[in-house]
Amino acid sequence: MGLCRLCRLLCKLGWLLNRRIHNFLEKTKNHQRKQIIDEVQGVSKEKEILRKRVNSLIKRRRLTEVKKLVKNEEIKPWGRDAQAKLGSRLLELLTETAYVQPPIDQSGDSPPDIRPAFRHKFKTISRDPKQKIKKRYGIIECDPLLLSGLDNPAGLDNPAKHMLIPYIPMLVPPKKWKGYDNGGYLFLPSYVMRTHGSRKQQDALKGVHVKNMQKVFEALDTLGSTKWRVNKKVFAVVEGIWASGGNIAGLVDRNDIPIPEKPPSEDSTEIQEWKWSVRKANKINRERHSQRCDTELKLSVARKMENEEGFYYPHNLDFRGRAYPMHPHLNHLGNDLCRGVLEFAEGRPLGRSGLHWLKIHLANLYSGGVGKLSHDGRLAFVDNHLDEIFDSAENPINGNRWWLTAEDPFQCLAACINLSEALKSSSPHSVLSYLPIHQDGSCNGLQHYAALGRDSLEAAAVNLVAGEKPADVYSEIAVRVHNIMKRDSNKDPATNPNALLAKLLIDQVDRKLVKQTVMTSVYGVTFVGAREQIERRLEEKGQITDDRVLFAAACYTAKVTLAALGELFQAARSIMGWLGDCAKVIASENQPVRWKTPLGLPVLQPYHKSERYFVRTSLQVLALQREGNSVQVRKQRTAFPPNFVHSLDGSHMMTTAVACRDAGLHFAGVHDSFWTHACDVEKMNQILREKFVELYSMPILENLLESFQTSYPSLVFPPLPERGNFDLQEVLRSPYFFN
């Protein structure tokens, strides 16, 4: 704890200064333009052609080319080498000038203990605790006094208050997007896409005409125009719990666990057990420290925004076209704490339908299986717990604390408060509601595959078809896994080694065991990934204590779960396979897979083999990496199916956002979860279904294949997979498609 490896830090420091200087030069453009004109207008007649050329370039704002013509000098951007060297010198200055002095307990007769706040050191670190290979890294280590202050806000007058968080929420609407680096924050560097340094992705994006990006820009502007505020009632409860030590409602414990003392015995077994217990305690304490710092950052932003009338989140995209708030700490994509303390800045009367959806929203947040009931079942659940809901709203800390039993406690508390206000009012339907009401997709990745494949069975499994209650694909897979294990358990262990594992596991199979694997299957989860997911769930159950048996059981369960998925979602598997095969054809020619989303956004998979090189700086020699010219064939192939589906769900969310804005609704989105006021849920539900049907009425796979054949005319691609005859219009009538 309290240390940071250097490479990325130094490059980031240099990049930030590079941006500051770039912004300064941008502000002097008008002065430079006038200077250039004065120089050119004084030239002789034989340079008249040059003058006309320069004036033409100036009118088109191509100032860099003007400077090259007039001053005959190349203007090159800083490279990563220069940024690293500059960052190194800046950090060196920090270590030479920043000091701390421990407080009061020093003797007045002794000299003050003033010491550097940061130190540059070399440390041998293992990147993976399970591996014995260790490497020597340069690090910056902060003084323990700073570290204790971060962990204990009382120690340094709450240092989170003094931390510079530049990309905080905005008090005015964000700047509308008009280009790659033109939009979002008014004065901070803002880019429409998070390319993580991929030059090829940046070039692909910059090469698109602004007119072809208008739909994307419009959607980002719509998401950024939603006005938020802090829910003061919920935030007061959060602050009270945090001040009392946390460890409630998902908040981390603010105290470390004690480190076990060394046993007096010299017995090697006891000593080894003690060492393991010390390692485990230190690991837990490191995790708690990290979580405490994260919580402090979230709360510090909430404190800054608490008394503001409202604020905004500028949005940009990842390389696949999914939208994210640019502020990283307190936003609606965050955890239950973040979502619980945020609400719309504008309230709207509940109305009859709003009261209905507020109750369903509360039931969904409580969950524990309640969210899988029909709408009527969820309404009945809320009506049967009104006393607990009223008590939670009136006395959240010292009452019965029913809200703490919810899966999302802070969001549940916010809903309890709003519902209590409405039901205790003489006119419940006129009570203002500021809460965002969520409508979530049902295993949304599989919903997109079902629409692509037009398979009726798969469509019904993920609620593209109307039913009396929501279909639960996770429970369906759990039943299939249980049936396979039941068959295996009846086999002879002498000839079938899985028989014993099946008998051991048959009573442990449930929805939770397979949920994560089912959810991530459409995003390319491997057998190893599935095994690790299931191993964690089995470990939580605690019925298998032997590590070797646990590993074998996880391997067997993962194999059975993936087999059950293959049985139920054959059409989805077929499309995944086709996408992967196309990507392999392209990547085998050392080309990255690229495509355009339905909104016209160019996507290029940034998976290239990196090249390592060394840069000598004032602190140390740095080993840097840069994007090479060879693609990672395997990564290009395995990542394409999930990335392509992510680009489709991003398109669905953004088209829904714009349509909701046009209909006068407030909208917020978290990938496959769409939010609006309670009174507007029914209208949003209609819009999001219409936009889904509109999206998949397009020949998406045909267009993709055609674009591949046009871009790579010499390559041969596999034929499109066969598809079913599912009628997309069924989605418009399905109440549990998003619910």
Give the model confidence (pLDDT) of 442-468 as tens digits.
Answer: 889 899 999 999 999 899 989 999 988
The mean pLDDT value for 717-727 works out to 93
* CB contact burial 485-495 (16+ within 10 A = b; e otherwise): beebbeeeeee
Q: Which of 253, 256, 318, 440 is catalytic?
A: 440
**pLDDT at 35 exceeding the cut of 60:** no
pLDDT of amino acid 522: 73
> Of 86-90, 153-157, 292-296, 672-676, which gets the smallest average pLDDT?
153-157
User: Residue 624 is encoded by which pair of tokens?
Assistant: 């840097």
Active site residue 440: yes
pLDDT of amino acid 57: 67
- 297 neighbors 165 (Cβ within 8 angstroms): yes
Q: Give the CA dihedral 549, 550, 553, 554, nearest 10 degrees.
A: -150
The Cα 362–Cα 296 span in angstroms is 27
pLDDT of amino acid 733: 94
Give the model confidence (pLDDT) of 565-595 as tens digits.
Answer: 888 888 888 999 999 999 999 999 999 999 9
**pLDDT at 654 exceeding the cut of 90:** yes
Q: Is the dihedral of CA 391, 395, 399, 400 positive or negative?
A: positive
Mean pLDDT, the chain, rounded, equals 86
pLDDT of amino acid 113: 74
The Cα 346–Cα 553 span in angstroms is 52
Residue type, 573: R
The Cα 670–Cα 314 span in angstroms is 14
The mean pLDDT value for 665-674 works out to 93
The Cα 603–Cα 724 span in angstroms is 28
In this prediction, residue 154 has a pLDDT band, given cuts at 50, 70 and 90, of very low
Q: Is the dihedral of CA 228, 232, 234, 240 positive or negative?
A: positive
pLDDT of amino acid 593: 94
% of the chain exceeding 70 in pLDDT: 87
**pLDDT at 40 exceeding the cut of 50:** no
Tell me how far CA of residue 159 lies from CA of 173, 238, 296, 297, 718, in angstroms.
29, 19, 9, 10, 58
pLDDT of amino acid 225: 96
CATH 1.10.150.20 fits 467-573, yes or no: yes
Which of residues 33 and 276 earns the better pLDDT score?
A: 276
Owner of token pair 């905004």: 312
- DSSP per residue over 314-357, as a string? -EEEETTS-EEES--SSSTTS-HHHHHHEEESS-EE-HHHHHHH
In this prediction, residue 218 has a pLDDT band, given cuts at 50, 70 and 90, of very high
- 653 neighbors 674 (Cβ within 8 angstroms): yes
User: Residue 290 is encoded by which pair of tokens?
Assistant: 């990290």
Alpha-carbon 353 to chain mean position: 32
**pLDDT at 339 exceeding the cut of 90:** yes
The domain spans of the chain are 3-145, 467-573
- 177 neighbors 601 (Cβ within 8 angstroms): no
Active site residue 515: yes
pLDDT of amino acid 110: 65
Q: Which of 143, 408, 488, 672 is catalytic?
A: 672
pLDDT of amino acid 63: 63
**pLDDT at 45 exceeding the cut of 60:** no
**Which DSSP helix (H) or strand (E) runs through 484?**
helix 473-489
In this prediction, residue 105 has a pLDDT band, given cuts at 50, 70 and 90, of low
**Those residues with Cβ within 8 angstroms of residue 321's Cβ, 6 or more apart along the chain or in another chain:** 216, 597, 599, 601, 603, 646, 647, 650, 651, 654
> Of 48-52, 527-531, 543-547, which gets the smallest average pLDDT?
48-52
Which of residues 403 and 82 earns the better pLDDT score?
A: 403
User: Residue 185 is encoded by which pair of tokens?
Assistant: 């924050």
pTM, full prediction? 0.84
Give the model confidence (pLDDT) of 671-718 as tens digits.
Answer: 899 999 999 999 999 999 999 999 999 999 999 999 999 999 999 999
> Of 152-156, 356-360, 613-617, which gets the smallest average pLDDT?
152-156
% of the chain exceeding 90 in pLDDT: 49
Q: Which of 85, 298, 359, 515 is catalytic?
A: 515
